[in-house]
Structure 1
Amino acid sequence: MTPSVSPGITTLSAIGWTPLIPLWALGLLLAALLVLTAAAALRRQPGWVLRPLPGLILLALLGNPHVVQEQRVSLPDVAFVVSDTSDSMSYGSRIADREQAAAAVTDMMRAQPGLEVRTLRVSNAPDHRGSRLLTALEQAAADVPPQRRAAAVLLTDGQIHDDAPEAIARRFAAPVHSLLAGTPGESDRRLIVVSAPAFGLVDRTVTVSVRLEDPTLTPGSTVPMTLRQDDGSTSTLDIPAGPPVSVPVRIRHGGAVVTDLSVPVRPGEISPYNNRQAVSIAGVRDRLRVLLISGEPTVGERAWRTLLKSDPNVDLVHFTILRPPLKDDGTPLNELALIAFPVQELFEERLKDFDLVIFDRYSRRALVPSAFFKLLAAYVRNGGALLLAVGPEFSEASSLYDSPLAEILPVTPTGRAVPGAFLPTLSPTGQRHPVTAALPGWSGPDRPPQWGPWLRYVDTTVRQGSTLMQTPDGAPLLVVDRVGQGRVGLVLSDTIWLWARGWQSGGPQTDLIRRTAHWLMREPDLEEEALTLRSDGARLTAERRSLSVTPPAELTLTLPDGQDVALPLTVTGPGRTGAEAAAPVPGVYRVSDGARSAVAAVAPPDALEDQALTATDHLLIPVATASGGAVRWLKDGLPALRRTAADSSRHAAGDGSWIGLRRNGETVASGVRQTPLLPLVPGLILCVGSLFLLWWREGR
């Protein structure tokens, strides 16, 4: 084809054929014509040279020759300007440098003829996966063929987290240039949690692995690291920069145990926030050990056993005392099915191994000497838990109240058991206490509870502690108390098992007993005087639980930078007040009401973005090498733009003063026109004219 060029339009011309009959037929006609002409030449007939002329003209008409003219329109090349708007760009003057450079580069590109400019802004990737500029570029360029891509210019700090960035750059098939915001040679001190266990056993020590990165430290030098736990305890440990260090953390209570790890901020750091980390470890108990001692066999005994055995976190040891230890009735040992109660082993040797001791309908019958009850009372004062589920035996002479346990019991029996059906209700304190607050079936003090009645209770006088459940006339049914470092609870009715049987709608026996038992064993979520703080992304939720009718009006919120902010409380339920606050920056937040405090760790919105904050060219140099692009620092000035030939993509950058945009010259056909070389009418005239010429020549 022969090209001719006009602005924006290219015309290509060529000779084409569109035969009116099949080519094989044309070939046969041509062969016949040549044979006839050769025969005439051999016989030396006059005018034999002119004889094939009419046939040749006819064959030309049947071959239909024409001139093909194709018009093609030039397509603009496409260049991409990608602005990094992720979290790491918010430090220093990076945002201003990025915006200024993006505007200048876009204007220079738009001034280039035959170039389409597309801009995109790329923030943090979903699911906390950092900055994925090249992935976003590949998606944005999916509708542009590689032969139309001129280049891409990334405006970033160099912290990218794409998977296989070099492979993406090669697939882009055009130069990828990077203009870096920030300062070359930046350094930052940061504390990294390498590994931490998800949970740990209460009163045990777990190990957290941390690493300190600081390029300004000399080998062997150390930095003090401060550990602050949510119970207020503080310790300091010197750690070296570089290698991981194992840090012991004591699990002091159940539930979330938050430990704040921090190192000092040195001058010239980019950000102080990555100098501290918070580790949240769930404190769990190593299977709660419960000792259940049943006295007189009752229908409710099976309910207690079933309830405790159904809890997978409870190891239950159950004894039913039917045979006094001194009884000797002459029954042979090999025929004796019951054993004597192991008093000394349980109350002297192994008592401290239990987290909770329960007496169910137990009465003293000289089975347990008073000395062992003294040991049990001491066990409670030193942090143990005791629960009594009593019936009429508690009002008799063999009552447990007539033992050294009376010193730690919060009630005094009046000596009578009151029969008759009644509906248990929550006391004013019970409506606020976590053990009974929001108990299923409780509809509020102005409506009867939606549960069945009990049939008997033991009348007592409350000396101390908190009455959580009571009869309609105010007699106590469930009383709990703190004794020294331990706790005591009493269920003053032996017909609670009716709830488990579903009699007259039943009731929440499982919830009530489980909550009571776990409160006795100091479950953090059931503490009646407690302050908690939870984080949910960038929001904090504080809750204050209290039995007081006049709880604090506000809390003090301490931000990660040490600033204190007042946090007003609002009533959220009986015995509960709460507040919410924003957590604008990651770190450890602390709330306090003056007597109690709680902490919560707010993780950065994107951990990958928080890990490294220094501007760097190390991650983008391989991308530039793979694509034929360049990496330039904006501090050195904005490079000029040049259009380069399509075959020079591997050298699309100068000595630092310019970067190249590939000129591809891609076109698309806009129209095709065919012009016959031998139109039909002139061709027929030539054919007839050649016949007359041949007739005239041979007629001479």
Structure 2
Amino acid sequence: MTVLTDIVLSPLVPAALLWILSGLLVALTAVSLWRRARGAWVRVIPAVVLLVALANPQWMVERREALNDVAVIAVDESFSNGLGERPARTTEALDRLRETLDTLPRLDVRVVPVADAAADQGTRLMGAVERALADVPPGRRAGVIALTDGRVHDADALSAASLDAPLHVLLTGAPSERDRRLIVEAAPGYGLVGRAVDATVRLDDPALPDGTPVPVTVSRDGQPEGMLTLPANRSETVSLPLEHAADNVVELRADAAEGELTAVNNSAAISVNGVRDRLRVLLISGEPHAGERVWRNLLKADPNVDLIHFTILRPPHKDDATPLRELALIAFPIRELFEEQLENFDLIVFDRYSRRGLVPLGYLSNVTDYVQGGGALLLAAGPELNDVISLYDSALAEVLPITLSRTTIEDPFVPRPTEDGRRHPVTAALPGLEDGPDGLPGWGRWARLIDARPTGGRTLLSDASNRPVLLLARSGEGRVGLLLSDSAWLWAKGVEGGGPQAELLRRVSHWLMKEPELEEDALRARMVGDSLEITRRGMDPAAMPESVTVTGPRGTETTLPLSDQGDGRALATLPIDAPGVYTISDGDRTTVAVAGTPNPRETAAVTATADPLRPLVEASGGGVHWLASDGLPAVRRVVEGQSTAGPGWIGLRDNRAFTVAGVDQTSLMPVWLAVLTILGGLGWAWWREGR
């Protein structure tokens, strides 16, 4: 404790009045002396005593307690500061700083660890410093020492005025570090499936001459796709074809360079949302029937579908007396549809169609080739399929996975999922699937069924006798669907409670058009909140993998067990703590998922630099030192007005702050003394003037 003594005034009247009275006293005294009045000096004595009494001088004794200053050590614990020898340098410097600062008087030290911020905000070091000093008044701030690689992403969060203390940066990296990195400068967020999009990328490697060709590996959705060459330190435009809807994640990866700090940023990911152009569907209806509008209404309700619908009102050989002006204005464009434009359709639907000479057999062979080459075909069949002129007796039989008995079952039945149907994404979890008695579907009945025996594909729906109702199959590169009943419209009408007619037919058509979400044997991953949700689909429970391996954007691997849900899905969840591209593999299939941005800030640039913090360091009077080459600088306490940094040393301000513990005051002019002195002076003045 420090004791301070002093004489202070505690006026009994306002200071202005005291000054006025003093002025009057001086003026009256001057007049008296000018007129040579007797006793002028004697009258001054009681007046002066009165003024002193009114000024009330005090003897003050103040007891002060010194306050410690506060120094902050901000320790960068981000990913980039964990590379190479930086963790060892950081730990050693922190230990030595603690030892040094503990020997300095009147100093409290706060160590603030700073990890990666969430949501790809990078290293928020200045924000952490601001929070650490929030309860410290400016008069007690000694300074801030930052142990960091300099890759700070909130350098402008504090100004020199708001910091009000010197900032010293001790860089944990080395000036000679080498790092090669891939940068995505521009990329579209979405594009049309089947077309290519252009992205601008750059491979930075200061150790290579500009333009040096560097081989780069290209992967799509976790699968290797090929190689390309990028010129070093120059921007390059690459063309990326979009092969499917939803996210198309393309990774570019360059080999690690000799002596490189890390290879984690040698890759860059481009995530483009594939959007299907308007799907072109050809719907050909045969003879009019009660459910003919079901398919038309379903497809027309989808704004992403361009529907071409032809209804066969009569076969070409049928003749009647209808005037030509009342017939169709155009002939059925057989050649254009089944030869010239066939490959442009995404799906062909035959709805209760039978061959009556309208489409020649040669054109149906084209449809077979179209399917095996990657197209999609759906047959919604009725009794016409049992005719000898049905599509079953044409070239299409090559892609149809059934054998017909030529019998129509007229007994009403409720479609029910087979074992495959309960695992297949087209029919799994359909509304009402478990709402009936004994776990059966709570759906309405259908009127009739075409009897057939499956020869391939998967039967998803059947009747009570296990006769197939809905079959899906692959043929070559394409897909085929068979709906062996023309009674689906009963669900749309709500007969006996109806059923999920629209959802079922939508899923069937989208599976045929290769919608990724409806693949029955697939590995998928997506972000749900702050977690990665992994779904493995499979039709064979015995062949389902037990676990998946997740490789994070920083190379860490995590093995997760899969939990079988019993409906064709096995699930796993992984909390995500860093943005970037995650690669998921079950040993057979591989997929990728993007958390946040595919190219996070923290790994974009990792070489040590003081550039982000240098303006604040210079404005606050601090210094920058490289631990690898300069070593740990000496630490000094400096007072106001002195330099706070220099070669080989850094300074922490000594504010000499204090708090007042107590104050004692004693009046130097007690009342009794003032009264006695004034009365004595007045008596003396009266006696002097009376002589």
Change (3 A) 1:96 1:537: farther
Q: How does 1:286-435 map to 2 (within 5 A)?
A: 286-325=277-316, 329=320, 331-336=322-327, 339-435=330-426
Instruction: Please say which of residues 522-531 and 689-698 is displaced more in the overlay.
Output: 689-698
Change (3 A) 1:557 1:492: same
Change (3 A) 1:621 1:447: closer
Q: How does 1:492-507 map to 2 (within 5 A)?
A: 492-507=484-499
Q: Is the 8 A contact 1:294 1:362 kept in 2?
A: yes
Change (3 A) 1:260 1:545: same
Structure 1 residue 458 displacement after superposition: 2.1
Matched, 1:628 2:621: yes
- Within the candidate set 501, 505, 509, 1:509 is matched to 501
Q: Which amino acid aligns with 1:433?
A: H
Q: Which residue of 1 aligns with 2:242?
A: 251
Instruction: Please say which of residues 579-588 and 66-75 is displaced more in the overlay.
Output: 579-588
Structure 1 residue 228 displacement after superposition: 2.8
- Within the candidate set 75, 78, 93, 1:83 is matched to 75
Q: Which residue of 2 aligns with 1:685?
A: 676
Using the alignment, how far apart are the partners of 2:239 and 2:100 within structure 1? 58
Instruction: Report the RMSD for the aligned CA atoms in angstroms.
Output: 3.6
- Within the candidate set 147, 152, 157, 1:160 is matched to 152
Residues 258-287 of structure 1 show CA distances to partners (whole Å, capped at 9, x for unaligned) of: 333211112211112222233343334322
Matched, 1:645 2:639: yes
Using the alignment, how far apart are the partners of 1:206 and 1:131 within structure 2? 33
SS at the partner of 2:237? strand
Structure 1 residue 406 displacement after superposition: 2.8
Q: Which residue of 2 aligns with 1:149?
A: 141
Q: Which amino acid aligns with 2:98?
A: T
Change (3 A) 1:143 1:576: closer
SS at the partner of 1:646? coil
Q: Which residue of 1 aligns with 2:467?
A: 475
Using the alignment, how far apart are the partners of 1:671 and 1:248 within structure 2? 78
SS at the partner of 1:401? helix
Q: Is the 8 A contact 1:128 1:606 kept in 2?
A: no
Taking every aligned residue pair, what percent have the same amino acid on both sides?
Answer: 45
Q: Which residue of 2 aligns with 1:3?
A: none
Using the alignment, how far apart are the partners of 2:106 and 2:502 within structure 1? 78
Q: Which residue of 2 aligns with 1:18?
A: 12
Using the alignment, how far apart are the partners of 2:635 and 2:78 within structure 1? 26
Q: Which amino acid aligns with 2:341?
A: R
Q: Which amino acid aligns with 2:12?
A: T
Q: Is the 8 A contact 2:33 2:40 kept in 1?
A: no
Q: Is the 8 A contact 2:287 2:353 kept in 1?
A: yes
Structure 1 residue 334 displacement after superposition: 4.0
Using the alignment, how far apart are the partners of 1:231 and 1:364 within structure 2? 46
Using the alignment, how far apart are the partners of 1:33 and 1:203 within structure 2? 105
Change (3 A) 1:224 1:539: farther
Structure 1 residue 687 displacement after superposition: 3.3
Using the alignment, how far apart are the partners of 1:255 and 1:57 within structure 2? 97
SS at the partner of 2:439? coil
Q: Which residue of 2 aligns with 1:4?
A: none
Residues 444-472 of structure 1 show CA distances to partners (whole Å, capped at 9, x for unaligned) of: 99412122111222222333332211111
SS at the partner of 1:450? coil
Unmatched segments (≥5 aa) in structure 1: 1-6
Using the alignment, how far apart are the partners of 2:358 and 2:485 within structure 1? 23
Structure 1 residue 584 displacement after superposition: 9.7
Using the alignment, how far apart are the partners of 1:254 and 1:339 within structure 2? 36
Q: Which residue of 1 aligns with 2:258?
A: 267
Residues 133-182 of structure 1 show CA distances to partners (whole Å, capped at 9, x for unaligned) of: 223223322333333322211111111112536x6234322211111112
Using the alignment, how far apart are the partners of 2:148 and 2:439 within structure 1? 64
Q: Is the 8 A contact 2:285 2:311 kept in 1?
A: yes
Q: Which residue of 2 aligns with 1:529?
A: 521
**TM-score, L = length of structure 1:** 0.87
- Within the candidate set 45, 58, 66, 2:57 is matched to 66
Matched, 1:110 2:102: yes
Structure 1 residue 552 displacement after superposition: 4.5
Structure 1 residue 587 displacement after superposition: 6.1
Matched, 1:573 2:566: yes
Q: Which residue of 2 aligns with 1:238?
A: 229
Matched, 1:174 2:165: yes
Structure 1 residue 582 displacement after superposition: 8.7
Q: Is the 8 A contact 2:269 2:598 kept in 1?
A: no
Unmatched segments (≥5 aa) in structure 2: none
Q: Is the 8 A contact 1:537 1:605 kept in 2?
A: no
Residues 471-516 of structure 1 show CA distances to partners (whole Å, capped at 9, x for unaligned) of: 1122221122222222221111111112122222211111211111
Using the alignment, how far apart are the partners of 1:231 and 1:14 within structure 2? 82
SS at the partner of 2:583? strand
Q: Which residue of 1 aligns with 2:121?
A: 129
SS at the partner of 1:550? helix
Q: Which amino acid aligns with 2:370?
A: Y
Change (3 A) 1:113 1:478: same
Q: Which amino acid aligns with 1:96?
A: A
SS at the partner of 1:273? coil
SS at the partner of 1:215? coil
Matched, 1:8 2:12: no
Structure 1 residue 338 displacement after superposition: 6.1
Using the alignment, how far apart are the partners of 2:260 and 2:55 within structure 1? 82
Q: Which residue of 1 aligns with 2:608?
A: 615
Using the alignment, how far apart are the partners of 1:150 and 1:209 within structure 2? 47
Structure 1 residue 568 displacement after superposition: 6.1
Q: Is the 8 A contact 2:423 2:538 kept in 1?
A: yes
Q: Which amino acid aligns with 1:453?
A: R
Q: Which residue of 2 aligns with 1:217?
A: 208
Q: Which amino acid aligns with 1:512?
A: L
Aligned length: 686
Instruction: Please say which of residues 507-516 and 19-28 is displaced more in the overlay.
Output: 19-28
